[in-house]
Amino acid sequence: MGEPNMNSILDALRAFAREDQILIDEPMARHTTFRVGGPADAMFLPESADQLVAAIDAATAAGVPVLVIGNGSNLLVRDGGIRGLVIALGERFSAMECSGRIVKVQAGASLARVAAFAQGNGLAGLEFASGIPGTLGGGCAMNAGAYGGQLSDVLIDAEVYLDGAVRTLTRDEMQMGYRTTLPLRKGGIVLSARFALSPDDPEAIGARMRELNARRRDKQPLNYPSAGSVFKRPEGYFAGALIEQAGLKGRAVHGAMVSEKHAGFIVKAGEATAADILALIAIVQAEVEARFGVRLETEVRILGEDTACLEG
């Protein structure tokens, strides 16, 4: 921190936001599910779409890099942290409202909370989302799904900041495919979304949610910090199966470990840094490629700078 352009962006933020919405040298370990990562130069916690857009525009005008995140469930931030401005969409940007069978949600709401809100209003269709560890904005941008359902099944439209303007895109205009959408491909940011759901008995909806979450707990190492599946599914294979067949379950670099419950997960089982996790990723990639001739690509987004880059 302290560079002139960062000072100018902080001044710009203070013109329309309170001081408690602006965090300096904020450890990214507090904002990712991996619980690792060095500091962001500055972090902003917007409370409205207008504030979010104003912050992006101010950073762009100042030439400051800007990154928008949800709860960091698919991020691995290096130990040197992130230069520029991180905008974190969370509880302050998570309003939900229900009108008939339509639910409207701001981007910072967790998918688990959205599913519970729908259930509480006797609306079915989002049960699959109750165990997805992410926010509505990120989930909508990547068309998140699980257990045979995905957000495109129930989306009406989304409010998106794209190409310098706020636009409302219909489900067709969102161009939603398997884990992809137009905003994701073009760097757009989902601000809110509306879903058309089906009336049902809240108890029946809850039973389905509990069943899906029990299946998830049985298969995934939810008792350790992680970023979910680390690797993309290679064509014709399953990443977790290849890693297990290579004998890598339980392989560790300090506190970073290939999960013994699900080999597609790397977990923080003890004291670990981002560098430890990256070293373990490299080991897994090298050994799987040596044995099977398959190069695993990371699904988790790897961001930021190594500590050595800051010291050098």
Q: Mind telling me the catalytic residues?
A: 179, 229, 299
Q: What tokens does 89 get?
A: 């969409």
Residue environment code for 146-170, b if the CB has 16+ CB neighbours within 10 A, otherwise e? bbebbbbbbbebbbbbeeeeeeebe
